[in-house]
Amino acid sequence: MISLPHITAITPNRSLLHSTNRPVYTRRHVQQRTTMALPSPKRVVLVRHGQSTWNEEGRIQGSSDFSVLTNKGESQADISRQMLLHDSFDVCFTSPLKRSKKTAEIIWGSREAEMIFDYDLREIDLYSFQGLLKKEGKAKFGEAFRQWQEDPANFIIDGHYPVRELWSRAGSCWSGVLGHESKSVLLVAHNAVNQALLSTAIGLGTEYFRRLLQSNCGVSVLDFTPRADGGSPHVCLNRLNQTPGSPLAGGSSGGRKASKQIILVCHGQSDYEASTNDQPMNMLGVIQSQKTAELLLDLRVTSIVRSSTTASIETAGVISRVQEAAGCLGVDSVPRYVNTKQINELDVEDIIHKSNKVAASISQMEEETVSALWNRSEKAWESLLDELSSDEDTGDAMVVVGSPTAHISLIAQCLNLDKKCLELFHLDAGSISVIDFPDGPSQRGVIRCTNYTAHLGRWSVPITTPV
């Protein structure tokens, strides 16, 4: 049997208060324990069900089974089907609730491989909340509803702690999924349970509920790789919440609209890996940067922060020029002006190349290199939050252009992890990741998506391509 990562809670460090009144949290390290090793690599692709009738009504669903997919929900499921069309899944695990079951059937299509309906994959049990409109829940339960919104990890109703129960159930689910004789798994379930599955896989506790968003039919990817010593498999979140629509289209985080956003843009592909010298983008990178700039037209970008590398400068320049050409492109009649700023703390290439060992990934870097990378990223994250908090020119969204390695570090900083957790994430050149701040940049960030590449079209890295 596979047991899950042992979780230790993050607690505020009262002796440390940042000058901007941002709360400081003790860094945590993921502690994993397992009694069974994987015999071979396994990829698990998680999908949340499409929009349901109760989603549309704003009704609390929980584990009830009265709502069904709307026409929009079926359309979203079909887009996810197209995303995954060429993958040869060995098995599909799905919640048996109607909205999830229908989504799984649409995505699964004509595949003849096995479908397993697992009741443990049902949505979070919310007891007396289930079936109520959100405004009814607030009116009827008052303080309990407030706690559900603001402190879900400690939320209690009818004598139950729903989020704690969910985390325990998600742990049991991994035993069946990872123990199954398969290399490629499709798992279709629900918002909260998918959050719990992702979190328990990479070692995050109940305090991370609503920190890793799951949109309707959003696709997330986890890679499990055996370790040479036969111990607990290495886990990597390859992709979070690849949505059928643009991740910049709006929406809410935990029921609240984000007041600020950081858009992490990985610069376009270069031949950097082949040389110790700073390299410009190659032709693929130029195309990737143009596609990213086109996607960002959905936002009015007023501020770009970048590293000093050539590829980052070129990518930021493409985004800026496209923004300022919005009028002649027929997107906006109001002139757009973009302020670009360089933050040297985003530069990590010099740290990597000082290492005596050439590493293809963060997990292969020497300890000294990882420590130097982490220390610099901590300074970069603080600089970005200060910039977002104090500079009115940033507007509601700030675009940050840098390398995949730099942005992985920023994501880990956002989640208050420590340097040993950097290997939990993967980003591709040309991808974007989005961090929401529903309570402003002085409070915790919410990860809307990571490694989003759908905007790159035929030049994107397919979701199911192994790392």
Q: Is 140 annotated as contributing to ligand binding?
A: no
> Is 99 labeled as ligand-binding?
yes
User: What are the b/e assignments for 272-286, b being 16+ CB within 10 Å?
Assistant: beeeeebbebbeebb
49 is in an annotated binding site: yes
Nearest to 382 by CA among 345, 434, 339: 345
Q: 169 is written with which tokens?
A: 């159930």
Per the document, the length of the chain is: 467
Query: Which of these is catalytic: 18, 29, 49, 455?
Result: 49
134 is an annotated ligand-binding site residue: yes
Q: Which of 56, 57, 123, 165 is catalytic?
A: 123
The reply to whether 426 sits in an annotated binding site is no
Would you say 22 is a known binding-site residue?
no
Does the annotation flag 50 for ligand binding?
A: yes
Was 457 annotated as part of a binding site?
A: no
Map tokens 């302020």 to a residue. 339
The answer to whether residues 409 and 374 touch, using CB atoms and an 8 Å cutoff, is yes
Active site residue 49: yes
- Ligand-binding annotation for 54, yes or no, is yes
Looking up tokens 């701040």, which residue turns up? 437
Q: How far is CA 319 from CA 180, 312, 331, 390, 450, in A?
A: 45, 11, 14, 23, 19
276: alpha, beta or left, given left = phi > 0 and alpha = psi -120 to 50?
alpha
51 among annotated binding-site residues: yes
Which residues does the annotation place in the binding site for substrate?
48-55, 99, 134
Q: Residues with catalytic annotation?
A: 49, 123
Residues making up the binding site: 48-55, 99, 134
